[in-house]
C-alpha cells in the first residue's frame, strides 16, 4: 500500500526560561493508506507535540526546528502555519481529536452548529445540506435521535457521547488521516472499548488512516497494525504490533510490557514497574535518555551518543546497544 504521510527527522523545541526543551527530537515515521498506527509513550515524551507539529498547531514558545512532513507529495512545513494551505489541510485532509471530550466542544454553541461549521467551511455545503450530513454523521457514531440532539448544547451530553461527536466532527470532511490524541483516556473502561471499536469501524468505512496516540499499550494492541514506542522525544522502537508484543527489543518496551497484566500468562506473575521517572527534557545529554532507568545498560551507553534506529528484520527497528 502506498505511503500517505512520511515524517522525517521532525524536531520541535520549546524555548523556556529554564532552557531549551527538545520535546520532539528528530523522529521519523510513516503512515500508509488505510493503516492504523499507534504512538505509545509516557506523559511528556512528545507524543502529542509530534502530532500537533504535523498539524502545525504548535504555539509560542514552541517551534518546529527541523525535519520534513511529506503528505500527498508536499512538504507541509513549507506552508505557513496559519496560511490558507495549512487551513485547507487541517480538518479537511488531516483531522485531529483530543483527549478531553469534556472540554473539546465549545460550551456556548449547539452540537449541530459545531458539526455543520466544518462542513460549510471546507466543503462549501449549504445550510440544509450540512444539516442533513450532520444528522447522518451523528447516526453513524451511534447517537440516538440525532435530529433532536442537533439543537443540544455540549453540557447535555455525557463524556462518551461528546467523544462520539468529536469523532463525527473529525470524520465529517472525509479526511485522509485522523489523529486521535489519547481519545479514550478520560473515559471509563467499558466506554473506551466501545469507542475504539466504533472508531476503527468508522475509519474503515471512510477509508481513512488512523494514528492513535496513547500511553496505554493495551489500547493499541487490538487495533494498530504497527506501533511506534517513544521515549524522551525520540522513537526508540518501531515494528508491527505482533513483533512488539512477541519479541520486544528495547529495554523500555520490555519494561512497558511487564507493567501490563495479561490473561494468557502463568498465575502469580508480578507486575514490574519501571524504576525512576522520565527525564527532564531541559538540557538533555546526548547519550541515551533511558540509561538511568535501564536494566540492560553497559559502559557503552554512557559514552556513546544515543544510538540511531537499526533494522532488526521485517519492519522491526530499535535504537539500543543491548541488541548487538
Partner 1 sequence: MPEKQTTVTGVSEAPPIVSEWRRFRRVFFQRKLVIFGLVILMMLVFNAIFAPWLAPHDPYRGKMADSLTQPGKKYLLGTDIQGRDTLSRLIYGSRTALMVGFLSVGFAGIFGMALGIVAGYFGGIINMIIMRVMDALMGFPMLLLALLLASVLGSGIQNVIIALSFATLPGYTRFIHGLTLSVRENDYILAEEAMGSSRARTMLRHILPNVFPPMIVLITLMLGNLILAEAGLSFLGIGIKPPGAAWGSMVADGYQYLLMNPVLSFAPGLTIMVVVFAFNMVGDGLRDALDPRLRGLL
Q: Which spans of this chain sit near partner 1 (rule: CB under 8 A)?
A: 55, 57, 60, 82, 87-92, 95-100, 103-109, 117-118, 121-122, 142-145, 152-153, 155-161, 164, 166, 169, 190-191, 194
CB nearer partner 1, residue 66 or residue 142: 142
Q: Is the dihedral of CA 289, 292, 295, 300 positive or negative?
A: positive
Supply the minimum distance, in Å, between the C-beta of residue 108 and partner 1: 4
Burial of 128 (0-12, 13-18, 19+ CB in 10 A): exposed
CB nearer partner 1, residue 126 or residue 145: 145
What is the number of other CB atoms lying within 10 angstroms of the CB of residue 298?
Answer: 12
CB nearer partner 1, residue 2 or residue 82: 82
Q: Quick one: which of 320, 315, 324, 318 has its CA closest to 1? A: 315
Supply the minimum distance, in Å, between the C-beta of residue 73 and partner 1: 20
The two beta strands, 209-214 and 36-40, are parallel
Supply the minimum distance, in Å, between the C-beta of residue 13 and partner 1: 18
- Is residue 31 helix, strand or coil? strand
CB nearer partner 1, residue 58 or residue 284: 58
Q: Quick one: which of 249, 248, 234, 239 has its CA closest to 289? A: 234
| Length reported for the chain | 324
The two beta strands, 3-16 and 177-181, are unpaired
Supply the minimum distance, in Å, between the C-beta of residue 36 and partner 1: 19
Distance CA 294, CA 274 (A): 8
- The number of CA neighbours under 13 Å toward the Cβ of 49 is 30
Kindly state the greatest CA–CA separation across the chain: 68
- 260: cell is 501490563
Supply the minimum distance, in Å, between the C-beta of residue 123 and partner 1: 11
- The number of CA neighbours under 13 Å toward the Cβ of 93 is 14
CB nearer partner 1, residue 90 or residue 250: 90
CB nearer partner 1, residue 159 or residue 278: 159
CB nearer partner 1, residue 28 or residue 99: 99
CA 200 from centre of chain: 14
Supply the minimum distance, in Å, between the C-beta of residue 60 and partner 1: 7
CB nearer partner 1, residue 115 or residue 244: 115
Supply the minimum distance, in Å, between the C-beta of residue 230 and partner 1: 20
Supply the minimum distance, in Å, between the C-beta of residue 171 and partner 1: 12
Amino acid at each position: 500500500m502506498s505511503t500517505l504521510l512520511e515524517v522525517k527527522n521532525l524536531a520541535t523545541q520549546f524555548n523556556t526560561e529554564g532552557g531549551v526543551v527538545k520535546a520532539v527530537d528528530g523522529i521519523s515515521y510513516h503512515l500508509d493508506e488505510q493503516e492504523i498506527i499507534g504512538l505509545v509513550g509516557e506523559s511528556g515524551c512528545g507524543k502529542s507535540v509530534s502530532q500537533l507539529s504535523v498539524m502545525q498547531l504548535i504555539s509560542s514558545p514552541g517551534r518546529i526546528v527541523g525535519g520534513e512532513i511529506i503528505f500527498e507529495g508536499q512538504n507541509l512545513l513549507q506552508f505557513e502555519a496559519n496560511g490558507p494551505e495549512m487551513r485547507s489541510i487541517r480538518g479537511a485532509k488531516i483531522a485531529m481529536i483530543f483527549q478531553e471530550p469534556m472540554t473539546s466542544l465549545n460550551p456556548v454553541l449547539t452540537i449541530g452548529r459545531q458539526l455543520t461549521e466544518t462542513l460549510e467551511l471546507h466543503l462549501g455545503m449549504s445550510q440544509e445540506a450540512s444539516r442533513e450530513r450532520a444528522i447522518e454523521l451523528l447516526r453513524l457514531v451511534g447517537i440516538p435521535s440525532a435530529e433532536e440532539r442537533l439543537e443540544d448544547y455540549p453540557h447535555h451530553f455525557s463524556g462518551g457521547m461528546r467523544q462520539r461527536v468529536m469523532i463525527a466532527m473529525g470524520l465529517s470532511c472525509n479526511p485522509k488521516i485522523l489523529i486521535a490524541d489519547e481519545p479514550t483516556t478520560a473515559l471509563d473502561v467499558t466506554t473506551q472499548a466501545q469507542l475504539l471499536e466504533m472508531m476503527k469501524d468508522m475509519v474503515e468505512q471512510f477509508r481513512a488512516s488512523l494514528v492513535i496516540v496513547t500511553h496505554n499499550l493495551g489500547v493499541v494492541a487490538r487495533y494498530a497494525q504497527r506501533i511506534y514506542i517513544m521515549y524522551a522525544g525520540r522513537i526508540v522502537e518501531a515494528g508491527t504490533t505482533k513483533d512488539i508484543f512477541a519479541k520486544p527489543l528495547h529495554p523500555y518496551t520490555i519494561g512497558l510490557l511487564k507493567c501490563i497484566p495479561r490473561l494468557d500468562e502463568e498465575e502469580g506473575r508480578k507486575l514490574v514497574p519501571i524504576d525512576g521517572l522520565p527525564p527532564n527534557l531541559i538540557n538533555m545529554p546526548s547519550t541515551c535518555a533511558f540509561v538511568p532507568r535501564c536494566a540492560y545498560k553497559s559502559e557503552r551507553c554512557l559514552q556513546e551518543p544515543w544510538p540511531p534506529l537499526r533494522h532488526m528484520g521485517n519492519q522491526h527497528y530499535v535504537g539500543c546497544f543491548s541488541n548487538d
